């Protein structure tokens, strides 16, 4: 596979060429990432990008892909559009795209049928390390807040509800307004 690169085109995350085809890829987290308005915006963006690439001299076939990091889509070719009163009709050819999800997406990107499983191992390891750091910070903050609460709102080993309710709800005393300088007569 030819190397891909991070695209600088609007609404395209990745571009690469493979087997005489120029691919433009927009990556989303899962298959249900947007509503119909957002999907139409994606299709319009694919069309505009194809037109721009042709103006820039790309003569190869340009294929648009909506890549989804997880999920499944058993009908990846999106070449139909539902029109009110008409039903399904053929989509504008420049708005046609493929939606590859989960294992199919990672294989499309890498050529490795097992990458979708292999990438989870380092993510899992990193998540566990960060979880330990988070738990320590969380426990520290709980202890700090408990200590502050006890110092401010506990009297004779009981919650002083009046102090607590005053703290969260009592109106602050009005601030003194700074004196306003009066303009001298005749000055602007």
Distance in Å from the first CA to the final CA of the chain? 74
How many Å apart are CA 97 and CA 64, to the nearest integer? 5
pLDDT at 108: 96
The whole-model pTM stands at: 0.63
Q: What is the CATH number of domain 5-113?
A: 3.40.1560.10
Q: Using alpha carbons, select from 74, 69, 72 the residue that is nearest to residue 109.
A: 69
Beta strands 61-68 and 21-28 are parallel
Binned average pLDDT, 10 residues per bin, the chain of 188 residues:
59 90 95 93 95 93 96 94 86 95 95 88 81 91 96 95 93 80 66
Q: Using alpha carbons, select from 56, 21, 179 the residue that is nearest to residue 48.
A: 56
Question: Count of CB atoms within 10 A of residue 95's CB?
Answer: 18
pLDDT at 1: 45
Range list of H helices, 96-153: 103-110, 115-118, 120-153
Ranges of beta strands (E only) in the chain are 5-6, 14-18, 21-28, 61-68, 77-78, 80-83, 87-90, 97-101, 154-155, 158-159
Q: Using alpha carbons, select from 151, 135, 105, 115 the residue that is nearest to residue 13.
A: 105
How many Å apart are CA 137 and CA 139, to the nearest integer? 6
pLDDT at 126: 82
How many Å apart are CA 96 and CA 45, to the nearest integer? 11
pLDDT at 2: 55
pLDDT at 99: 97
Sorted by where each begins, the domain ranges of the chain are 5-113, 123-169
How many Å apart are CA 150 and CA 181, to the nearest integer? 46
How many Å apart are CA 152 and CA 164, to the nearest integer? 8
């Amino acid at each position: 596979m030819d190397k891909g690169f991070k695209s600088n085109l609007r609404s395209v995350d990745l571009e690469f060429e493979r087997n005489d085809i120029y691919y433009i890829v927009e990556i989303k987290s899962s298959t249900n990432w947007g509503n119909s308005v957002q999907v139409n915006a994606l299709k319009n963006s694919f069309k505009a990008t194809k037109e721009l690439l042709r103006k820039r001299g790309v003569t190869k076939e340009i294929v648009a892909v909506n890549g989804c990091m997880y999920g499944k889509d058993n009908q990846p070719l999106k070449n139909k559009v539902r029109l009110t009163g008409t039903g399904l009709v053929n989509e504008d050819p420049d708005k046609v795209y493929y939606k590859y999800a989960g294992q199919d997406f990672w294989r499309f990107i890498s050529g490795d049928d097992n990458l979708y499983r292999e990438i989870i191992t380092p993510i899992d390891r990193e998540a566990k390390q960060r979880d330990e750091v988070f738990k320590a910070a969380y426990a520290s903050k709980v202890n700090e807040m408990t200590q502050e609460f006890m110092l401010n709102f506990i009297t004779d080993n009981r919650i002083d509800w009046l102090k607590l309710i005053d703290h969260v709800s009592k109106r602050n005393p009005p601030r003194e307004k700074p004196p306003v300088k009066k303009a001298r007569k005749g000055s602007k």
